Amino acid sequence: MATVNITETDFEKTVTDGGIVLVDFWASWCGPCRQFAPIFEKVSENHTDAVFAKVDTDANQGISAALQIQSIPTLMAFRDGIMVFRQAGVLPANALEDLVTQIKGLDMEDVRRQVAEQNAAQGE
């Protein structure tokens, strides 16, 4: 699957529809973003069971601010609507491949339990 462009209006639906969603936050003027784009595109072709989405931070400043994107590129990964990875900077292709494999292997029941525990601890 090729990468898809998403905006503020479809970001939430895209990441909460279920499954694995990787989101690349980028801008056209950003050199490292231009370096990462072909890596992101190539890895997306190897994983047709995941969504590889791109958010232009200049055109979508609201969502970028809400998610506190402070440097680009920033990669976020979601599985079943839960953010499971976030990192700024360029990932080499082999690291991105490894990340996707790790996300596919996650025990989501355990992840949900950990999220519930964190939410309970913050609510105290």
Give the residue numbers marked as catalytic.
30, 33
Per DSSP (E only), the strands in the chain are 4-5, 20-26, 50-56, 74-79, 82-88
Specify which residues 5 forms β-bridges with. Answer: 54
* Cα 50 to chain centroid, rounded: 11
CB contact at 8 A, 75 and 15? no
Q: Specify the DSSP element, H or E, that contains 8.
A: helix 8-16
Whole-angstrom distance, CA of residue 97 vs CA of residue 103: 10
CA atoms within 13 A on the CB side of 86: 8
Q: Which residue has the tokens 């339990």?
A: 113
